[in-house]
Amino acid sequence: MPDAPSADTTDADTTDADAASDAGVMARHGYYDQHSATQGSAADLGLGLLTDAVADLRPAAGATVRVADLGCAQGHNSLQPVGAALDALAAAGAGPVDVVHTDLPTNDWATLFAVVEHDPASYLRAHPDAYPSVIGRSFYDRLVAPASLHVAWTASTLHWLRTSPGSRYQASVSARIRFCRYCAR
C-alpha cells in the first residue's frame, strides 16, 4: 500500500485514487463525504423517527443532554440528523447539549473537525449551546458512563453491530434509533 500523503499535500494535489489508498479504514481528505450521497439519502428516511424519539425524552427544563452520533465518518451526513435532534431538544426546553461524534480511531478526524466547525450547514450555526466532542472508539464498546446518554443516532452503521441489542429493540426502526441505553451500558 502506498504511503499516505505528506502533511504538506493539499486536497488539490490528492486524486480520488490517492485518497482511497490512504492507510486505515477511512480514506482521508473528505473522500468519504464526497462519495456518500447514497448513505446520506438513506439517513434522511429516519429523520422523522429521530425527532419523535427525541420528543419522547422530555428533558428537564434547562438540563444538559448528551447526544451521540455513532459512526460519524467525516461528518457531512451527520449535520442534518444532529441538527434535527438539536432542534427537537430546543423545542422541548433542553439546555446545553453535548454532541459526541464517535467512530473508529482510524477515522478521518481532521475532516470531521473542519466540517463541524466550518460547513455552512453545521448545526453549530443554529445551536451555539451545542458542544461537540469526539470519541475514537468502536461503538461496540462502552463510550460514555452508564445512564449519561440520552439519545443516539446511527444511520448506516447498525449492520456493524456484533450482536443484536435484543428482541425488544427489533420491533421497529424507531426502537432501533432509541437503542442508546444499550450503547451506554
Architecture of domain 40-183: 3-Layer(aba) Sandwich (3.40)
Sheet holding 65-70, edge to edge: 130-136, 97-103, 65-70, 151-153
Residue 147 pLDDT: 87
Q: What is the pTM of this model?
A: 0.69
Cα–Cα distance, 58 to 19 (Å, whole number): 43
Residue 164 pLDDT: 64
| pLDDT tens per residue across span 24-67 | 455 565 555 554 555 655 666 778 888 888 888 888 888 899 99
| pLDDT tens per residue across span 100-151 | 999 989 888 999 999 999 999 999 999 999 999 999 998 888 899 988 999 8
pLDDT band of residue 84 (cuts 50, 70, 90) is: very high
Cα–Cα distance, 137 to 154 (Å, whole number): 15
Express the helix, strand and coil content of the chain in percent, nearest 5 each.
Answer: 40, 10, 50
Residue 54 pLDDT: 87
CA angle 98, 107, 140 (to 5 degrees): 70
